[in-house]
C-alpha cells in the first residue's frame, strides 16, 4: 500500500551488496522491557514472559540483548536510558537497535506513553515513545526498531494526566547519516482497545501481539520472505505489517469473539532491512500462501486505503466508502466519520473580514492579545466575533472561554476567519477560511468543494492516526509531492491543510517537507503558526521565532504538538505547564477546568503577548 506512514530508507550498511552480505558481521543490539506488576495499575500476566521470549529470539538472531523485567525489582527509567545510551554512544557503531516494551501504556493526545514500574505514582517513571523516536532519528544508527506490546488506553482512564514520560535516547547528537525508525504498535488509537476500560484492554492485548510478531519468523506467508544471493532468507520489516494485522485480529477474536485488536506499523526502512531470519518449524512445510485481507478491517485502515487513492489521484472518498454491500462495517463507519468532518467545512459562515466563529458552543469570555474583538450581532448558528487589527499587523491570538468552562487559544490571521467546531470531547475541528476582504477569497470559493473534502478527510485521518506516509522510498516521495500539490491555495498553503501537512511530514521525519510548508506559509501569512514553526525547528528555547515574526498562538494548536515541545528544545512557561495537566483528549488543544479561565485572563492581561514565565 502506498500512501501516508513514516518516510525514509537507509538499509543497514551490510545489506547494500548482496554478493558480500554476511549476517554474522552485522552489529546489532536490543533493549527488552517487560513489566507485570504496578503499584497503582492492574497487574498483567504475560508482559514479562513475552519480554523473555522476545529477548531469547533476539539473542538467537545475534543481538547483544539487555533484558529488563520486574521479576527482580522495579524497572527504572534511568537504567533503560543508560542501556540505550551505551549502545548509541558505542564508538564502533551499530547497524541496528531494537527497543521492545510489554506492559501498561496510555495515550497522551495521539502519543503513546509506556508506564514503568513506579508510574503513575512517580510521574517521571514513564517513556515518551514519540520523543524517543525523534531522538532515535538522530542516533546515527541505520535502523532503529521500536516494538510496543502495550495498551493505548486514554490517559483519563488510567488517572495519568500528569505523566509526560521521559526520553530513553540521548539528546544533542548531530546526525551525519540517515536513520530509519520503524515502529510496531500492538494496537492503535481508533481500534476497539482505544474505547475499552483498562481491565478490558489488558485482556485484549495481553500476549497476543508478541506471539504474532514471533510467529512471522516461523510461519510467514510466502510473499514475506526475502532471499539473499547467498541463500540467507529473512523477513523484512516492511513485509510484517499485513501479516501482523491479520494474525493479531484473528488471535484477538479467538480470545473472545467481541474483542477486536488492530495493530499499527509505521515502517520507514526499505527491503531488505530485517530483524530476523526465516526459521522453519519441525513438521511444517515452510511459508504458506498469502492470505486475503480480513473482510472487516479497522476504521483507520479503511481511511488509510482511501488516502492512497486520494494521493495517487485514482479515487476519492465516495468511491471508497459509498458502495452498499461491498464494504466492511468498519469502512462504513469510516465513511460516516469522514463525511461528517467534511460537513464541518461546508457549513461555515462567510466572514466579511478578519475574525473567528465558534460552532457547537457559546463563548463566555475572550482574552485578546494586540487586538480588539467584538461579538457580531448577526443571527447565525455560529457565535461570530470580529477582530480589529491595527494597520500593518498580520496576526494575533485570542484565548476563548466557552460557557461550559472549557477553553482554547486561537490564532487570528489578517484576512482570514478562524472557524472552530466544539463537541463534548473538546475542539474537534479548526480551519482558516479567507474572509471576503481577502484577495484569496475568489480562489477559495472556486476550490471550496475540493478543500472541504481534503480538510475533512485530513482531520479524520489525523484523528485515526492514518495520516502517515507509507510505502517504498519512491512511493513515499511521490505521495508527499502529491499531497503538497493538493494543499496549496493560490500561491501559498491553505493554513488548515498546511498544519496537517507539517505534522504528516514531521511524523515521517521529512524535514525538507516541513520546512517547505513553513516557508510558504510564512510568506503567505506574514506570521508564524506555532505548530508549523515548532515542527520546522524555527522556534528558540523561549518560543520566539527565528524569523522575528509574531508566533500565534503562544501554545500548540493541535493536541499532539505538546509532545514535541521538549524534543524540539522549546521550554514551557509556568502557565503552559499548568494548562497541560488540564488538556483534553481532543484533536485540537482544549483546556478544562480552572486552567481555561486562567489562560483566558492571562492572555488578555499580558501586554507583550507571550504567556508569562
Phi, psi for residue 284 in degrees, rounded to 5: -105, 160
Q: What integer pLDDT is reported at residue 12 of this predicted model?
A: 42
The three cell numbers of residue 4 are 501516508
Judge contact between 283 and 448, C-beta under 8 A.
no
Q: To the nearest 5 percent, what fractions of the chain are helix, strand and coil?
A: 35, 20, 40
DSSP strands (E only) in 389-461: 395-402, 407-413, 416-423, 426-434
pLDDT tens string 86-130:
999 987 789 999 999 999 888 776 678 899 999 888 888 999 998
Q: Taking the CB of residue 57, how many other CB atoms lie within 10 A of it?
A: 22
Helix axes 473-486, 511-525, angle to 10 degrees: 10
Beta bridge partners of 431: 419
- What pTM does this model have? 0.80
Question: Which residue in the block uniquely carries the three cell numbers 458502495?
Answer: 323
pLDDT value of position 608: 45
10 Å CB burial of residue 254 (0-12, 13-18, 19+) is exposed
CA distance 605 to 368: 9
Those residues of the chain that have pLDDT short of 70 are: 1-21, 109-110, 153-161, 188-206, 252-261, 281-335, 470-473, 489-492, 574-575, 578, 606-613
End-to-end CA distance of the chain: 47
Decide the pairing of beta strands 226-227 and 528-529.
unpaired
Q: From CA 476, how far away is CA 504, in angstroms rounded?
A: 11
Local structure of residue 3 (DSSP, 8 states): B
**β-sheet with 226-227: strand ranges across:** 226-227, 233-236, 274-277
Residues facing 588 on adjacent strands: 558
Q: How far apart are CA 6 and CA 363, in angstroms?
A: 39
Q: What is the DSSP string of 504-527?
A: HHHHTT-HHHHHHHHHHHHHHHSS
3-state DSSP of 9-60: CCCCHHHCCHHHCCHHHCCEEEEEEECCCCCCCCCCCCHHHHHHHHHHHHHH
Query: Residue 425: phi, psi to the nearest 5?
Result: -85, -5
Q: Which CATH number fits domain 13-277: 1.10.3720.10, 3.90.1150.180, 3.40.50.1460, 3.40.640.10?
A: 3.40.50.1460
pLDDT at residue 353, as a whole number: 93
Strand ranges in 312-447 using DSSP code E only, listed in sequence order: 355-359, 363-369, 372-375, 383-388, 395-402, 407-413, 416-423, 426-434
Q: What is the largest CA-CA distance in the chain?
A: 80
Q: Please report, for residues 68, 74, 442, the alpha-carbon distance to residue 36 in angstroms, rounded to integers and kept in the order given.
A: 12, 10, 60
At residue 321, the pLDDT reads 57
Q: Which stretch of DSSP H or E encloses residue 146?
A: strand 143-150
Distance CA 111, CA 164 (A): 10
CA 353 to chain centre: 34
Q: What is the rounded distance in angstroms from the CA atom of residue 27 to the CA atom of residue 330? A: 43
Cell numbers given for 596: 481555561
Note the pLDDT of residue 209. 87
Write the CA distances from 277 to 40, 55, 172, integer angstroms.
Answer: 39, 15, 34
Whole-number Å distance between alpha carbons of 292 and 294:
6
Q: Tell me if the bond preceding 553 is cis, omega within 30° of 0.
A: yes
In this structure, the chain runs to a length of 613
- CA angle 542/110/50 to nearest 5° reads 120
The ranges assigned to domains in the chain are 13-277, 297-346+441-482, 351-439+490-605
**Cα–Cα separations (whole angstroms), residue 244 to 294, 379, 488:** 12, 53, 36
Which pLDDT value is given to residue 305?
66
List pLDDT tens digits, range 241-276. 888 888 887 776 665 545 566 778 888 888 999 999
Amino acid at each position: 500500500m502506498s500512501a501516508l506512514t513514516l518516510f525514509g530508507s537507509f538499509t543497514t550498511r551490510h545489506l547494500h551488496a548482496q554478493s558480500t552480505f554476511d549476517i554474522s558481521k552485522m552489529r546489532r543490539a536490543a533493549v527488552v522491557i517487560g513489566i507485570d506488576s504496578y503499584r497503582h495499575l492492574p497487574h498483567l500476566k504475560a508482559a514479562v514472559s513475552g519480554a523473555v521470549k522476545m529477548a531469547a529470539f533476539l539473542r538467537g538472531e545475534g543481538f547483544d540483548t539487555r533484558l529488563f523485567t520486574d521479576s527482580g525489582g522495579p524497572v527504572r527509567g534511568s537504567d533503560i536510558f543508560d542501556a540505550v545510551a551505551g549502545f548509541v554512544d558505542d564508538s564502533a557503531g551499530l547497524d541496528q537497535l531494537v527497543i521492545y516494551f510489554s506492559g501498561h501504556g496510555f495515550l497522551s493526545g495521539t502519543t503513546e506513553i509506556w508506564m514503568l514500574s513506579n508510574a503513575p505514582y512517580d510521574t517521571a517513571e514513564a517513556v515518551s515513545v514519540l520523543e524517543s523516536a525523534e531522538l532515535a532519528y538522530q542516533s546515527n544508527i541505520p535502523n532503529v526498531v521500536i516494538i510496543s506490546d502495550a495498551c493505548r488506553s486514554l490517559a483519563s482512564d488510567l488517572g495519568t494526566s500528569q505523566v509526560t514520560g521521559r526520553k530513553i535516547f540521548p539528546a544533542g547528537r548531530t546526525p551525519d547519516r540517515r536513520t530509519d525508525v520503524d515502529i510496531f504498535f500492538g494496537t492503535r488509537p481508533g481500534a476497539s482497545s482505544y474505547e475499552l476500560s483498562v481491565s478490558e484492554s489488558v485482556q485484549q492485548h495481553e500476549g497476543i501481539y508478541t506471539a504474532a510478531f514471533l510467529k512471522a519468523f516461523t510461519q510467514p506467508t510466502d510473499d514475506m520472505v526475502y532471499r539473499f544471493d547467498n541463500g540467507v532468507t529473512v523477513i523484512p520489516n516492511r513485509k510484517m505489517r499485513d501479516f501482523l494485522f491479520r494474525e493479531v485480529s484473528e488471535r484477538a477474536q479467538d480470545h473472545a469473539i467481541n474483542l477486536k485488536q488492530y495493530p499499527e506499523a509505521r515502517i520507514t526502512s526499505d527491503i531488505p532491512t530485517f530483524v530476523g531470519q526465516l526459521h522453519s518449524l519441525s513438521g511444517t512445510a515452510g511459508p504458506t500462501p498469502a492470505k486475503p485481507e480480513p473482510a472487516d478491517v479497522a476504521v483507520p485502515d479503511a481511511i488509510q486505503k482511501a488516502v492512497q487513492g486520494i494521493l495517487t489521484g485514482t479515487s476519492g472518498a465516495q468511491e471508497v466508502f459509498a458502495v452498499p454491500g461491498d464494504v466492511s462495517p468498519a469502512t462504513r463507519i469510516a465513511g460516516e466519520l469522514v463525511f461528517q468532518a467534511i460537513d464541518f467545512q461546508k457549513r461555515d459562515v462567510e466572514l466579511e473580514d478578519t475574525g473567528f466563529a465558534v460552532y457547537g458552543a457559546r463563548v463566555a469570555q475572550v482574552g485578546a492579545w494586540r487586538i480588539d474583538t467584538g461579538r457580531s450581532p448577526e443571527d447565525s448558528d455560529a457565535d461570530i466575533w470580529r477582530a480589529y487589527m491595527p494597520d500593518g499587523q498580520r496576526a494575533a491570538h485570542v484565548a476563548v472561554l466557552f460557557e461550559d468552562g472549557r477553553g482554547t487559544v486561537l490564532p487570528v490571521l489578517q484576512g482570514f476567519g478562524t472557524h472552530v467546531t466544539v463537541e463534548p470531547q473538546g475542539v474537534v475541528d479548526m480551519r482558516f477560511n479567507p474572509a471576503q476582504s481577502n484577495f484569496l477569497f475568489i480562489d477559495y470559493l472556486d476550490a471550496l468543494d475540493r478543500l472541504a473534502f481534503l480538510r475533512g478527510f485530513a482531520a479524520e485521518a489525523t484523528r485515526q492516526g492514518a495520516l502517515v506516509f507509507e510505502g517504498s522510498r519512491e512511493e513515499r516521495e511521490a505521495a508527499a509531492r502529491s499531497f503538497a500539490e493538493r494543499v496549496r491555495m493560490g500561491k501559498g498553503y491553505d493554513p488548515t491543510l498546511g498544519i496537517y501537512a507539517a505534522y504528516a511530514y514531521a511524523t515521517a521525519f521529512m524535514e525538507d517537507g516541513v520546512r517547505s510548508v513553513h516557508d510558504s506559509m510564512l510568506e503567505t501569512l506574514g506570521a508564524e503558526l506555532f505548530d508549523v514553526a515548532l515542527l520546522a525547528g524555527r522556534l528558540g528555547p523561549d518560543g520566539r521565532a527565528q524569523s522575528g515574526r509574531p508566533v500565534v498562538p503562544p501554545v500548540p494548536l493541535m493536541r499532539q504538538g505538546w509532545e514535541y515541545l521538549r524534543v524540539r528544545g522549546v521550554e514551557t512557561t509556568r502557565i503552559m505547564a499548568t494548562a497541560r495537566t488540564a488538556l483534553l483528549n481532543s484533536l485540537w488543544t482544549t483546556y478544562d477546568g480552572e486552567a481555561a479561565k486562567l489562560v483566558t485572563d492571562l492572555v488578555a492581561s499580558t501586554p507583550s503577548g507571550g504567556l508569562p514565565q
